[in-house]
Amino acid sequence: MAQDILIIGAGGVGSVVAHKCAQAATKGVFGKIVLASRTESRCKAIAESVKQRYGVTIETAQVDADNVPELCALIRSVNPFMVLNIALPYQDLHIMDACLECGVHYLDTANYEPLDTAKFEYKWQWAYDGRFRERGLCALLGSGFDPGVTNVFAAWVMKHELDEVHVLDIIDCNAGDNGQAFATNFNPEINIREVSARGRYWERGEWVQTAPLSWSMDFDFPDGIGSKKCYLMYHEELESLAQNLKGLKRARFWMTFSDNYLKHLSVLKNVGMTRIDEVEYKGQKIVPIQFLSALLPDPATLGPLTRGKTCIGDVMQGVKDGKAKSVYIYNICCHEECFSEVGSQAISYTTGVPAMIGAKMMCEEKWLRPGVWNMEQFDPDPFLQDLGDYGLPWTCIDVTGKELV
């Protein structure tokens, strides 16, 4: 039976989620779709695009995702099977609270972050596990690409290719170019907080910290992308994968950045524009990074400007049938093709498609059990089947004996 859903968030990713949910609705997956945001005009513009592309009508609403009573009023009026939280990470707990109060299932694409501290940890959301179990509700965390698909890739490799994994390297490359002097491909505030934070990786049962962007390596990406410099960062999926992957001794996350991006980021940091604390200016309190975010291009507007490809995947080294084995599992996505299909660039697309598929898994009850869960804790096979069917084909190759990382 097609299930009704409520999507909260109408940025670049929210737009992709709405378009892909509408696409799936034409196949009977979803029933009524409601898109809500603080700014309803953004929702209406997305709904108009969805109607033109797929002939599906999406309802819209206005909501303040920081206001639990307001969220509850909206949820009760829509009466959805589940809420897809595509809002800001600061709002995760408010939306989880509202879902618990109203008795609906929950999904998000990124872990909760306190507004005043650049902390990227699941502990706040994992603490909700008992309450979701008591209510018989499911909360699926991190149903984007990284986190999200990278977790499912790891689970699939553990199911089909390796008996145990010793080393995991998640490698994220955006080889696209939007022609801007400085721009981020998703929410600027979230992006800059993440990139400016200290690096961290898992090594033999302990977390090892590094200075921000102080470690790098060169990686030769497939499909003509070629060699790119990748920088070690901390990314939230490492926290759950370190707990859930059998035999894991080391887990790291790497991301590519252009020299131009890093130069601009360094200057902005040096002059205090990446600060997340309040400063007073002419009698008003402002947060520098929020002010900077307002000045930078809206990622949702970069679709027609962006050219090139993304490549995101996992290199996993371990053992199969008592012998050493390594695999590389990845997706290649084209910015221009994404824009042609849904009007967005590939960073939004690669996050939005998995969010829709995670919701599909829950609505079809393939991934639905009480509690708070990370992506690798469910059967990866149906998810990855849909991933290819809905626009993100993937490849897994044997790289045993090759020193990729």
Lowest-confidence region among 56-60, 91-95, 280-284: 280-284
The reported pLDDT for the residue numbered 405 is 76
Domains in the chain: boundaries: 3-141, 149-342+393-398
Tell me what the mean pLDDT of segment 380-403 comes to: 96
Is residue 265 within 8 A of residue 195, CB to CB? The reply is yes
Is residue 32 within 8 A of residue 4, CB to CB? The reply is yes
- pLDDT value at 381 more than 80: yes
Tell me what the mean pLDDT of segment 52-76 comes to: 98
pTM: 0.94
Is residue 35 within 8 A of residue 62, CB to CB? The reply is no
In CATH terms, 149-342+393-398 corresponds, of 3.30.360.10, 3.40.605.10, 3.40.190.80, 3.40.50.1000, to 3.30.360.10
pLDDT > 70 in the chain, percent = 99
Which band of pLDDT confidence, cut at 50, 70 and 90, is reported for residue 118?
low
What tokens were used for 358?
A: 């995670």
Q: What is the mean pLDDT of the chain?
A: 94
Environment class of 403 (CB within 10 Å of its CB; exposed 0-12, middle 13-18, buried 19+): exposed
The reported pLDDT for the residue numbered 19 is 98
Tell me what the mean pLDDT of segment 32-49 comes to: 98
The top-scoring range by mean pLDDT among 147-151, 190-194, 302-306 is 147-151
Give, for 294, the enclosing helix (H) or strand (E): helix 288-295
Interstrand relation of 199-203 and 206-210 (parallel, antiparallel or unpaired): antiparallel
CA 286 to chain centre: 28
The reported pLDDT for the residue numbered 404 is 81
The reported pLDDT for the residue numbered 72 is 98
- 340 HSE (CA, 13 A, CB side): 7
The reported pLDDT for the residue numbered 281 is 87
Beta strands in 80-133 (DSSP E): 82-85, 105-108
Q: What is the DSSP string of 27-59?
A: TTSEEEEEEEESSHHHHHHHHHHHHHHH----E
Closest CA to 19 of 291, 351, 243: 351
The reported pLDDT for the residue numbered 134 is 98
Give, for 151, the enclosing helix (H) or strand (E): helix 149-160
Closest CA to 314 of 405, 197, 214: 405
The reported pLDDT for the residue numbered 370 is 98
Q: Which residues pair with 395 in a beta bridge?
A: 330
pLDDT > 90 in the chain, percent = 78
Q: What is the DSSP string of 388-400?
A: HHTT--EEEEE-T
Contacts of 3 (CB under 8 A, 6+ apart): 30, 31, 80, 81, 82, 363
* Cβ neighbours, 10 Å, residue 60: 21
What tokens were used for 341?
A: 């299909």
CATH 3.20.20.70 fits 3-141, yes or no: no
Give, for 103, the enclosing helix (H) or strand (E): none
Contacts of 28 (CB under 8 A, 6+ apart): 2
The reported pLDDT for the residue numbered 119 is 67
The reported pLDDT for the residue numbered 189 is 79
CA distance 141 to 307: 30
CA distance 321 to 326: 13
Tell me what the mean pLDDT of segment 152-162 comes to: 98
Answer whether 3-141 and 149-342+393-398 agree in fold. no
Tell me what the mean pLDDT of segment 340-366 comes to: 97
pLDDT tens, residue by residue, 295-341: 888 887 888 888 999 999 999 999 999 999 999 999 999 999 999 99
